[in-house]
Amino acid sequence: MKKNILLWMAVLIGMSVSIPAFWSDFGYPFAQIAKPSCRKEAWSTLDETCKMPLPRIANADYEKFKADSQYRRIYTVLWGATYDYGWDVGLGSHLGVDIATSAGTPVISFAAGTVTKSEFSSGWGNYVTIKHTLADGTNLYSNYAHLSKRLVEKGNTVTLGQTVGEVGNTGNSYGNHLHFQVDITDQLHPYYYVTCSKGKDMIALVNKGDCRSYLTSNTIDPVVFIETGTMGVAPPTAQVIETIKNTPSVVIQKQTIKSREEILNEESEEFLKSYTIVPNFPSRGSVVAVGSSYLFNVEVRDFDKKLGKKNIPGAGVRITVDEAQATVFPNNFTQLYGGKRQISISPKTSGPIELVFTIGKKEIARKKIYGMKKGDKIVTDDTETITVKKWFVGQEYDMYVSPLVGGAYYVGKNAYAGKYRLEVVKGKAKFCQEIPKKWNKCDPNKVVEVLEFTKKDTPNGFLSTRILPLSTGTIEIRVTKSSEKSGHTTRITGEIPTWLDRQNAYYDTVIAGLSNNWWKTNNGYVGQDEEMTTQMAKELISRVLSYEILKAGTNKEKKQLALNNQELFARSSATLESKKWSRGAFAELFLKSLRIPLDSYAPVWLDEKGEFQDSIGTLRSKYYFQWKDQFGEKYFQSDRIITLSEAMYLAGEVTR
């Protein structure tokens, strides 16, 4: 006991004490993390061989661990360091500590306390702030930012080690990680540079070490607090915070450590020892019309030629092209889907265009495509329908159909003569009716299963349109001359969007909604748990109304639904696009947009009373509606913010 008291006194007078233990009421914000080699994979997909306890930076001894590659890949940016080097403590002004791990990794509270914020901001994305009260009544605040999910609400009481969220990449973030920050003043939490940062780029501010006086006045190094400030036999107080603040911080010079870029390059080099990265261009893929886009895959394979199961570490694959000749998207990526990543190339000029593929500092491939424009002759041996082979359901794709004459395509010459039709003969897909293409996206009211076209629709010698796959599995597309019964058939594969969570209670509803063209995916992404904004609500309801118009029986019904669509935009035009919609408010908007009369309703449950009780009652009585959660039967939770998947479920139940 006497030894412990002496050690505690040593801490209070600023002496360096080497003790591995730390105060039991505080801890790190993770119990487990993904091993660095596995951190690009989702937490839910990892087995135990890919998980590890979060390693402590014992005694906050940064000098000891600064050359340890594993620590550098986990603790990517320390408090008071720069983004460029991450561990140059004392030279930057990073407000917390960044810890890299898989998306979905459980984040735990570093102490008992009360949740004061659980919300979304443009900088931190999804974040949680927890207020903790020390033994003498002093308050400090822990902040957990860039979460994919928030699992606690404002006002909740939490305990040490309780899960409060899951790691994500939301807000101003460049990869899955937790920004963990501890504030020590009564400023806005999470504390952020406001007064001293006006007109400054935040990354440059941190890298230059600007605003350090604000950093030290309003925050404290979380690792130092956990490892040093909370040791001893008595609970920590404001005196501990003052002691840490007044103890000179260690300064790690840049020349003594590797930069973050060097750390990422090391990861890339290790990856290439086990995998090859191959840009896969089909034969027709080397010829692309100027002003259009073409999709190709970059594949990652192991040395058995099997598609790799891991995403790309480090800074990922970068694709470089002369920007005057073409644009490429994405030109930098780490995420793979089934061992592949789909890339779009859009030529701006005709002639050869070279793409250079690199990972880290290593060049892995060079590929050439040819931009084509009216009057160019391009020799190829491919078939006449130009398309990618795998598409996500609910995502629009450019499609080009060109006549084949003697093994060569003649752009601007030998155009289609007579009438033709483009149709789906197996599976489900639709085409944009407006041609030639002069839009950014298909009008949901103008999609057709059979697209008829003539020479006037192919001014450049080929048909340019868009296709929207609406079913999984094989989809067969046929081009036929109107006077003939047979034509050229191309097979593609519709795929379920990669990012959909199959464990989500509304998974089947989202798939059905995509098949009805109620929502567009973006490179396979559907934000199932994304909170509904005005912009999203208008988009979803407008598409549902368009779907109802297409299946309406009479012209009168079609006109009425079209009028409903116009009124929807008129009613919500004055509402902020970013406003979040509650379950009750969205239910009322949806029912009124479809002109469904609201029943006068005597609430059965207390939860159903209030502003939206007639909308809730209409859903209950006409559609036997209840949410797919443990409260569904008894509680509507009308003030809870509605998610995209919940909104699609409500739409499906009402329109089926």
Same domain for 24 and 113?
yes
Domain housing 611: 507-655
Same domain for 13 and 150?
yes
Tell me the pLDDT tens digit for each residue of 117-170.
Answer: 999 988 889 999 999 998 888 899 999 999 999 999 999 999 999 999 999 988
Same domain for 182 and 254?
yes
Residue 296 backbone zone (phi > 0: left; psi -120 to 50: alpha; other: beta): beta
Domain boundary among 328, 345, 373: 373
Residues 288 and 371: beta-carbon distance below 8 Å = yes
**Which of 305-309, 446-450, 540-544 has the least mean pLDDT?**
305-309
- Could you tell me which residues come within 8 angstroms of residue 424 by beta carbon, excluding any fewer than 6 positions away? 430, 449, 450, 475, 476, 477, 478
Phi, psi of 444 (to 5 degrees): -55, -20
CATH number at residue 224: 2.70.70.10
Same domain for 249 and 287?
no
Predicted local distance difference test score (pLDDT) of residue 113: 95
Is residue 264 in a domain? no
410 vs 637, which has greater pLDDT? 637
CATH number at residue 331: 2.60.40.1930
pLDDT-based confidence at 356, cuts 50/70/90? very high
Predicted local distance difference test score (pLDDT) of residue 143: 96
Is residue 419 in a domain? yes
CATH number at residue 402: 2.60.40.10
Q: Can you tell me the mean pLDDT for 176-204?
A: 82
Is residue 106 in a domain? yes
Same domain for 349 and 392?
no
Same domain for 334 and 400?
no
pLDDT-based confidence at 306, cuts 50/70/90? confident
Tell me the pLDDT tens digit for each residue of 107-123.
Answer: 999 999 999 999 998 88
> Does residue 63 register a pLDDT over 50?
yes
CA atoms within 13 A on the CB side of 622: 18
Domain boundary among 322, 349, 373: 373
Structural domains in the chain (count):
4
Predicted local distance difference test score (pLDDT) of residue 115: 96
Residues 36 and 55: beta-carbon distance below 8 Å = no
Same domain for 390 and 364?
no
Same domain for 251 and 280?
no
Give the largest CA-CA distance in the chain: 101
Distance CA 291, CA 300 (A): 29
DSSP 438: -
Tell me the pLDDT tens digit for each residue of 74-91.
Answer: 999 999 999 999 999 999
601 vs 478, which has greater pLDDT? 478
Is residue 501 in a domain? no
> Does residue 182 register a pLDDT over 90?
yes
Indicate the pairing of strand 397-401 with strand 385-386.
antiparallel
57 vs 437, which has greater pLDDT? 57
Cα→Cα distances 473→390, 517, 619, Å: 9, 17, 35
Is residue 116 in a domain? yes
Domain boundary among 322, 343, 373: 373
Is residue 544 in a domain? yes
Is residue 62 in a domain? yes
Predicted local distance difference test score (pLDDT) of residue 107: 97
Q: Which of 30-34, 282-286, 294-298, 628-632 has the highest mean pLDDT?
A: 30-34
Residues 644 and 527: beta-carbon distance below 8 Å = yes
Predicted local distance difference test score (pLDDT) of residue 106: 97
Predicted local distance difference test score (pLDDT) of residue 485: 61
Tell me the pLDDT tens digit for each residue of 363-412.
Answer: 888 887 778 775 554 443 333 343 444 567 777 776 766 654 433 333 44
Same domain for 28 and 168?
yes
Same domain for 399 and 476?
yes
Same domain for 184 and 296?
no
Predicted local distance difference test score (pLDDT) of residue 48: 92
Residue 101 backbone zone (phi > 0: left; psi -120 to 50: alpha; other: beta): beta
Same domain for 285 and 152?
no
Is residue 268 in a domain? no
